[in-house]
């Protein structure tokens, strides 16, 4: 047995350890709705705060459609009479995805929803999927699908990872030069005729094309070509584009997902810089987030609104941000958006004044967060040195967005679109299934004629949610639609741009 003296020493040592731990205990910070027990170790509190920050970053952002949006149109059964003018129902329906499956988000969800709709409601109709878009049609590569629960489960498993389960390519038969360059047809061969012959030989009655503007127009052209040869093909388009720039469509599937993923990407980037701030690194930083999208600013604007939605969930009190910044600098202000630039602005601001404003933000918070559209990033490169930050950090979210699965808002729109597309196919009605911004209800799916499609729709800068956001972040002093010139008078895109209103409205 140990001597009593030794036991007493051990007891004193234990009391000493307990007193040290007691002195180290402190009230832990609280983060939004996440609370941490008050009586915890300081190191444990820091770890808990870091975990809570990560949880907030991964929490779904509010996005997109009006709360009570009703996409579905009345699906009235097609009346069939014994008449020569009544088209026969389709026996074989073909599906293909055209474009970049990593950029045109929602391909997988659309393929799954479309196939599932036919399997449940029209099991007698045979389905054929051309692999890799029109390229597979030119090379006679296709997969026949058969109804059955096991088969549907396999399709769902393939579609869960995003991208396109049947492959996709940018090849369209209307671009003969590209088809020849890729070796898909001989120089003297007409790819349109070759595609038409393939559809005729396969006995396709309805062709569903999932993709962007070029793919949809190509589908219509193929149907017209076959009509001249006295073959009836019903072309039904399901549009997708992350830029949300197709007129007269209110909202394109995939665009909400792209904005959501881009916002989450930058939130993760900013979370990484928290470690540097916690280590008291003095470097002032200008964070430039380059968002994908060429000539249309919708994606950049929507990403900005959704990112601010994420920031709103973070703490604003000084006592909660000891790990996030200097005293007196609320974390929400440090992590918030400080400027957004889209192509439609056409540099409608004073470069020197804007540089001075951002420089003041950097001085106050040690950093500034700027979102810029890919289409104007090069033009604004002269602005960054004028801010006089010690470091300019460039972040591109394009690669982070690629191949993402459809988010909840897009999935709901995609499912409804597939239901309408299958219904129209049974009635042999051609067109593009989409939300028609020129209709009585811009949030109701309709069949839009191919002739009405127009690409490269500009973003409407006069939308209230965007204008108010610029005021909130201090980029403009007051809402001035006249600042943007002709863009404020455009009715095109008004409904489309309002689709992020819930995410961008002021508190």
Q: Is the pTM above the cut of 0.75?
A: yes
Mean pLDDT of 256-265: 93
- Between residues 107 and 38, which one has the greater pLDDT? 107
Q: Are 500 and 302 in contact (CB under 8 A)?
A: yes
Q: How far apart are CA 66 and CA 79, in angstroms?
A: 33
Q: What is the pLDDT of residue 223?
A: 97
Mean pLDDT, residues 70-78:
60
Of 125-134, 161-170, 479-488, the poorest mean pLDDT is in 479-488
> Could you read off the pLDDT of 416-471 as tens digits, one per residue?
999 999 999 999 999 999 999 998 888 999 999 999 999 999 998 888 889 889 99
The candidate with the shortest Cα–Cα distance to 56, out of 335, 364, 369, is 335
| CA atoms in the 13 A half-sphere facing the CB of 62 | 14
- Residues 6+ away with beta carbon under 8 Å from 134: 96, 98, 169, 171, 172, 173, 195, 215, 218
Q: Which of 44-53, 289-298, 381-390, 408-417 has the lowest mean pLDDT?
A: 44-53
Q: Which pLDDT score, from 0 to 100, does residue 500 have?
A: 52
pLDDT in tens, 23-36: 333 333 322 332 33
Output the CA torsion sign for 421, 161, 133, 213: positive
Nearby residues of 245 by Cβ (< 8 Å), 6 or more positions away:
252, 295, 296, 298, 455, 456, 457, 458, 459, 493
Lowest mean pLDDT among 18-32, 119-133, 367-381: 18-32
Helix (H) or strand (E) holding 394: strand 391-396
pLDDT over 80 at 294, yes or no: no
For residue 44, is pLDDT > 80?
A: no
For 397-461, strand residue ranges (E) read: 431-435, 445-448
pLDDT at 24: 39
Domains detected in the chain: 92-253+406-452 (3.40.50.450), 259-402+458-491 (3.40.50.460)
pLDDT at 36: 32
Alpha-carbon span 476 to 470, nearest angstrom: 6
Residue 368: pLDDT over 80: yes
- Give Rg (Cα) of the chain: 28
Q: Is the pLDDT of residue 71 over 60?
A: yes
Tokens of 136: 């597979």
Cα–Cα distance list, 452 to 133, 215, 216, 417 (Å): 23, 15, 12, 18
Work out the pLDDT band at 11, boundaries 50, 70, 90: very low
Average pLDDT over residues 51-70: 48
pLDDT at residue 327, as a whole number: 46
Q: What pLDDT score does 55 carry?
A: 44
Tokens matching residue 134: 């029109």
Which is nearest to 266 in space by CA: 357, 366, 340, 370? 370
CA distance linking residue 265 with residue 291, whole number of Å? 10
Percentage of residues in the chain having pLDDT higher than 70: 68
């Amino acid at each position: 047995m140990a001597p009593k003296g030794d036991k007493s020493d051990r007891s004193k040592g234990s009391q000493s350890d307990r007193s040290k731990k007691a002195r180290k205990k402190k009230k832990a910070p609280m983060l939004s709705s996440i609370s941490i027990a008050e009586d915890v170790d300081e190191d444990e509190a820091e770890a808990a705060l870091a975990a809570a920050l990560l949880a907030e970053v991964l929490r779904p952002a509010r996005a997109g459609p009006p709360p009570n949006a009703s996409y579905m149109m009345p699906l009235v059964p097609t009346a069939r009479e014994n008449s020569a003018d009544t088209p026969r129902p389709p026996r074989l329906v073909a599906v293909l995805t055209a474009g970049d499956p990593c950029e045109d988000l929602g391909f997988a969800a659309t393929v799954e929803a479309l196939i599932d709709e036919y399997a449940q409601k029209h099991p007698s109709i045979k389905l054929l999927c051309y692999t890799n878009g029109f390229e597979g049609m030119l090379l006679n590569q296709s997969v026949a699908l058969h109804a059955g629960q096991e088969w549907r489960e396999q399709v769902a498993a393939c579609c869960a990872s995003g991208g396109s389960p049947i492959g996709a390519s940018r090849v369209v038969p209307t671009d003969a030069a590209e088809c020849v360059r890729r070796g898909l047809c001989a120089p003297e061969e007409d790819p349109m005729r070759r595609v038409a012959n393939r559809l005729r030989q396969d006995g396709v009655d309805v062709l569903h094309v999932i993709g962007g503007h070029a793919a949809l127009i190509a589908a219509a052209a193929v149907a017209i070509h076959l009509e001249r040869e006295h073959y009836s093909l019903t072309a039904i388009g399901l549009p997708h584009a992350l830029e949300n720039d197709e007129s007269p469509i209110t909202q394109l599937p995939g665009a909400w997902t792209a904005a959501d993923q881009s916002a989450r990407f930058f939130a993760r980037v900013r979370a990484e810089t928290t470690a540097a701030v916690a280590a008291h690194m003095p470097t002032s930083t200008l964070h430039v987030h380059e968002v994908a999208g060429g000539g249309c600013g919708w994606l950049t604007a929507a990403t900005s609104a959704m990112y601010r939605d994420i920031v709103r969930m973070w703490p604003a009190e000084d006592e909660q941000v000891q790990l996030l910044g200097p005293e007196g600098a609320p974390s929400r202000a440090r992590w918030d958006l400080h400027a957004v630039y889209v192509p439609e602005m056409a540099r409608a601001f004073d470069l020197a004044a804007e540089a001075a404003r951002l420089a003041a933000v950097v001085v106050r918070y040690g950093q500034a967060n700027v979102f810029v559209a890919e289409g104007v990033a090069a033009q604004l490169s002269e602005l960054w040195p004028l801010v006089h930050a010690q470091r300019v950090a460039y972040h591109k979210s394009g690669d982070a967005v690629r191949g993402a699965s459809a988010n909840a808002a897009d999935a709901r729109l995609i499912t409804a679109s597939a239901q309408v597309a299958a219904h129209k196919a049974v009635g042999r009605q051609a067109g593009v299934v989409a939300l028609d911004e020129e209709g009585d209800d811009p949030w109701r799916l309709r069949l839009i004629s191919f002739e009405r499609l127009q690409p490269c729709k500009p973003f409407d800068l006069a939308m209230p949610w965007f204008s108010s956001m610029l005021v909130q972040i201090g980029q403009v002093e007051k809402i001035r639609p006249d600042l943007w010139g002709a863009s404020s008078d455009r009715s095109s895109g008004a409904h489309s741009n309002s689709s992020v209103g819930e995410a961008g409205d002021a508190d």
